[in-house]
């Protein structure tokens, strides 16, 4: 945990932003995997971590904005628990770590909420993503579990998003610690990949790094010779000479801050001419995008710039044609680059996505597009100092999508389908880095992981 001062300050800022009301912030509980005592890896809720820090299941935080008071609730371990789990800090001790004096048993939460309802006070809570917490809120507030999120507090979401979006120096240091783990994961994969071994032999080892150096993966590792599937979690392919391997993986620091890096490289250590050409287009688009990042620039414009570089590159290779600007405004490039350029990064790998992506990446000035491709852009609004975003363009040859668009004669003025046919077994390429916005520009976070063609080939062989 950070020092208690960090959490006290964060809660004070939130109280000022909200001005009034009772703010409910539940932590997460352990979730059974196949029987009650055999649980999934416990992951604390990120908003709870942000304001209270305690990485322990079964806690409930309350911030009282009317009475300037913070409270932490949970049940102390009894001797029966201690036999199995060892001595655990008391709720009082956990409260002390986050600068909270008022602590109590979990059943006190119901009393406080009842009292607030009786007094006609406003109760705020964030959207709940877990079934367990939806059921708990259903009981606490007397509403149906499936309707809990209908009562989410939009002012509360906006206050939390505005606060968590700007990363402090101690948060940046944590992201960089997660990136140190990414460096090991990616360079190991590049050193180790070779024809004749299974993807899982690499993914299993790099997942191990996330646990030996940090708090585990920041999301399930995507490591596949089928990079055309954007989130491919299957690791059962035998790698062959001529394959490209996409490694999109990340770790959590000991304080649960995330990294998210993608590299694509040839399994046998040498790009073919065809692979090198497409790789260079993706790299050019990523470098051009990063280059323009600074406060005041809309991330949607950065995304569109990356799309234009991709379109121009593919036109150069004869896969696309026509006017580049027109092709991008019509969304023709999305056959090859169907996803957004990136997302915020912090305590969550898609930071605050659980609070609602549109509250994080869009606002009154910039609304989400409905166009295929652009609609998947998770973050579009203006960049501000302290924001951390991923920059992850890619080019993919997705046979089913190519067949569909071709059969619909979609964007034939911009897409040379007869040439595209020759790339249907190509796979996909994505390159991703994590970028901090600073006062006058940006800083690519973490130790550089090879991405220039020459450097990638060198480390792979």
Q: Where are the alpha helices (DSSP H) in 273-343?
A: 273-291, 299-316, 324-330
Quote the least distance from Cβ 248 to ligand GLY, whole Å. Answer: 5
Told to check if 183 binds ligand GLY by CB under 6 A, we report no
Told to check if 45 binds ligand GLY by CB under 6 A, we report no
Cα–Cα distance, 340 to 19 (Å, whole number): 35
Quote the least distance from Cβ 20 to Mn ion, whole Å. Answer: 37
Give the footprint of Mn ion on residues 242-261 (CB under 5 A): 260
Give the footprint of ligand GLY on residues 190-229 (CB under 6 A): 219
Quote the least distance from Cβ 81 to Mn ion, whole Å. Answer: 38
Token pair recorded at residue 293: 């990042």
Burial of 407: CB neighbours in 10 Å, binned 0-12, 13-18, 19+: exposed
Nearer to ligand GLY, 171 or 433 (CB): 433
Nearer to ligand GLY, 6 or 221 (CB): 221
DSSP output for 188-248: HHHHH--TTSBHHHHHHHHHHHHHHHSSSBSS--EEES-TTSTT-----PBP-TT-EEEEE
Told to check if 248 binds ligand GLY by CB under 6 A, we report yes
Read off φ and ψ for residue 159, nearest 5 degrees: -65, -45
Nearer to ligand GLY, 71 or 302 (CB): 302
Give the chain's end-to-end CA distance (angstroms, integer).
41
Cα–Cα distance, 385 to 403 (Å, whole number): 43
Give the footprint of ligand GLY on residues 255-294 (CB under 6 A): 260
Nearer to ligand GLY, 188 or 219 (CB): 219
Told to check if 376 binds ligand GLY by CB under 6 A, we report no
What are the residues facing 394 on neighbouring strands? 430
Told to check if 390 binds Mn ion by CB under 5 A, we report yes
Give the footprint of ligand GLY on residues 299-328 (CB under 6 A): none
Nearer to ligand GLY, 199 or 248 (CB): 248
Give the footprint of ligand GLY on this chain (CB under 6 A): 219, 248, 260
Give the footprint of Mn ion on this chain (CB under 5 A): 260, 390
């Amino acid at each position: 945990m950070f020092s208690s001062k960090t959490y006290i300050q964060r809660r004070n800022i939130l109280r000022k932003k909200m001005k009034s009301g009772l703010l409910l912030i539940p932590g997460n509980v352990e979730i059974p995997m196949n029987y009650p005592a055999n649980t999934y890896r416990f992951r604390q809720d990120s908003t709870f971590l942000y304001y209270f820090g305690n990485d322990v299941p079964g806690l409930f935080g309350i911030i009282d904005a009317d009475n300037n008071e913070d409270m932490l609730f949970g049940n102390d371990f009894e001797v029966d628990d201690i036999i199995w789990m060892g001595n655990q800090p008391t709720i009082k001790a956990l409260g002390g770590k986050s600068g909270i004096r008022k602590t109590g048993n979990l059943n006190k939460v119901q009393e406080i909420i009842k009292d607030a309802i009786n007094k006609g006070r406003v109760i705020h809570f964030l959207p709940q993503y877990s079934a367990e917490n939806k059921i708990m809120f259903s009981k606490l507030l007397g509403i149906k579990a499936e309707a809990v999120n209908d009562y989410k507090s939009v002012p509360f979401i906006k206050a939390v998003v505005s606060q968590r979006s700007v990363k402090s120096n101690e948060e940046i240091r944590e992201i960089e610690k997660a990136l140190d783990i990414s460096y090991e994961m990616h360079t190991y994969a590049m050193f180790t990949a070779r024809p004749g071994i299974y993807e899982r032999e690499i993914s299993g080892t790099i997942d191990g790094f996330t646990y030996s150096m940090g708090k585990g993966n920041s999301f399930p590792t995507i490591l596949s010779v089928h990079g055309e599937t954007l989130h491919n979690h299957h690791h059962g392919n035998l790698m062959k000479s001529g394959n490209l391997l996409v490694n999109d993986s990340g770790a959590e620091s000991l304080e649960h801050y995330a990294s998210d890096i993608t590299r694509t490289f040839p399994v046998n250590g040498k790009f073919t001419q065809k692979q090198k050409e497409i790789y260079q287009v993706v790299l050019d688009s990523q470098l051009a995008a990063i280059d323009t990042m600074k406060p005041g620039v809309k991330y949607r414009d950065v995304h569109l710039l990356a799309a234009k570089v991709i379109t121009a590159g593919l036109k150069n290779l004869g896969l696309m044609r026509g006017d580049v600007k027109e092709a991008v405004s019509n969304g023709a490039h999305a056959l090859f680059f169907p996803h957004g350029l990136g997302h915020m990064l912090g305590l969550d790998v898609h930071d605050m996505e659980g609070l609602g992506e549109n509250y994080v990446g869009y606002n009154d000035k910039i609304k989400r597009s409905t166009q295929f491709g652009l609609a998947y852009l998770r973050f579009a609004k203006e960049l501000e100092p302290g924001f951390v975003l991923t920059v992850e363009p890619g080019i993919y040859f997705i046979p089913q999508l190519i067949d569909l668009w071709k059969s619909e004669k979609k964007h034939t003025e911009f897409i040379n389908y007869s040439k595209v046919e020759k790339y249907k077994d190509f796979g996909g390429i994505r390159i991703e880095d994590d970028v901090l916005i600073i006062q006058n520009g940006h800083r690519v976070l973490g130790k550089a992981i090879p991405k220039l063609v020459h450097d990638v080939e060198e480390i792979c062989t």
